[in-house]
Amino acid sequence: MQLIRPIFVTGACSGIGLALCQRLESAGSHVVSIDINDRSSELHSLDHWRCDLSDPTSVDTLIADLESCYDLTLAGSLINVAGVPGTIASASVIEVNTLAVRKLSRTFASWLPPGSSIVNVGSISGNGWQERIEAHKEFLALSDEDARAWWFDRESSIGIDSYSFSKEAVIVWTMRHAGELLGTGIRCNIVSPGPVETPLLPTFRKQIGDERLNWVISHAGRPAFSDEIAQAIEWLAIGESTWVNGHHLVVDGGYTSGLLSGWLDTTNAPPKRTD
């Protein structure tokens, strides 16, 4: 009988995370859901853990609990979907979107067997990572404690909002982590969605402004559905993608390709909100 390896998913109870867990369960996977909220009634798995990823102590407790309850050398994937918008305190944005992802990824990488995978979720808001690559390399080389201090010192001068920086950082982290894991048989990839029809979409409207968000959406025709992002994540996590590693997969209906190739005219693009 084929071994069913558990798949661990953060941010599992709404939006993309919920759609992903539903896809995985439909495929017969053993899903371990992780979220700040109670288990969603739309999920069948009873394996659910509550964790506030903005609280490092809560993350440490989660790690200890998972290690005591599962043989994590038999795990199949870690999928970091959980994220928060830039409308909350910037320190919490960095904590959840980057530092918690890094801590969980590093910890799971010490357990995962060859053939397993880590998939992180970024954002097209992080597409400018190459402009700040040296800053991200410096930031990611630090311990969590020192990284918090680094951000506190540079937040006002880094030239970008906390959400975009956190997503740039997790993109760079994922690619660098893939390099660290070469030879282990563990793959590490990242999916960056554009606007998605989730409960957080109104919050992102507040973050970047209605005009800007509507302009972005207009060039893809509509926001994505959560399941459309989940399709890409599922493929990287358990699909036939065994030679895809360290890849930044943008899933935005073609918007980013328009920016990169020049068919999208940005001359009259509304600016992002900065207040």
* pLDDT at 44 (0 to 100): 86
Structural domain contains residue 271: no
C-alpha to C-alpha distance for 152 and 144, rounded to whole angstroms:
12
Domains in the chain, number:
1
pLDDT tens digits along 258-269 = 888 888 888 877
What is the structure's pLDDT at 1?
Answer: 42
Per-residue pLDDT tens digits for 123-182? 999 999 999 999 999 999 999 999 999 999 999 999 999 999 999 999 999 999 999 999
Active-site amino acid positions:
163
Task: Yes or no: say if 148 and 166 are a contact pair by the CB < 8 Å rule.
Answer: no
Structure tokens at 165: 């920086």
Asked, for residue 40, whether it belongs to a domain, the answer is: yes
- Read off the pTM: 0.94
pLDDT band, residue 274 (cuts 50/70/90): low
Kindly tell me if the per-residue pLDDT of 193 is higher than 70.
yes
- For 11, 109, 234, 251, the CA distances from 20, given in Å and listed in that order, are 10, 21, 7, 15
pLDDT band at 191 (very low <50, low <70, confident <90, very high): very high
Tell me phi and psi for residue 141, to 5 degrees. -80, -10
Asked whether residue 175 is domain-assigned, the answer is yes
Contacts of 60 (CB under 8 A, 6+ apart): none
- Quickly count: other Cβ atoms within 10 Å of residue 63's Cβ: 17
The CATH number of residue 153's host domain is 3.40.50.720
**Are 30 and 7 spatial neighbours (Cβ–Cβ below 8 Å)?**
yes
Question: Is the CB of residue 252 less than 8 Å from the CB of residue 188?
Answer: no
pLDDT digits (tens, 9 = 90+) for 44-79: 877 999 999 999 999 999 999 999 999 999 999 999
**Is 265 inside a domain boundary?**
no
- Structural domain range at position 82: 6-200+224-257
User: By C-alpha distance, which of 124, 256, 93, 258 is closest to 195?
Assistant: 124
**Residue carrying the six token digits 């954002």:** 123
34 domain-assigned: yes
Q: Is residue 29 part of a domain?
A: yes
Q: How far is Cα 78 from Cα 104, in angstroms, rounded to an integer? A: 8
Say what the pLDDT of residue 219 is: 83
pLDDT confidence band for 253 (50 / 70 / 90): very high
Per residue in 198-249, pLDDT tens?
Answer: 877 888 787 878 888 888 888 888 999 999 999 999 999 999 999 999 999 9
Give the per-residue pLDDT at 272: 75
Domain membership of residue 168 (yes or no) is yes
CB 256 within 8 A of CB 127: yes
Q: Residue 79 domain-assigned? A: yes
DSSP-derived 3-state class of residue 173: helix
Residue 2 has pLDDT above 60, yes or no: no
The answer, yes or no, to whether residue 4 has pLDDT greater than 80, is: no
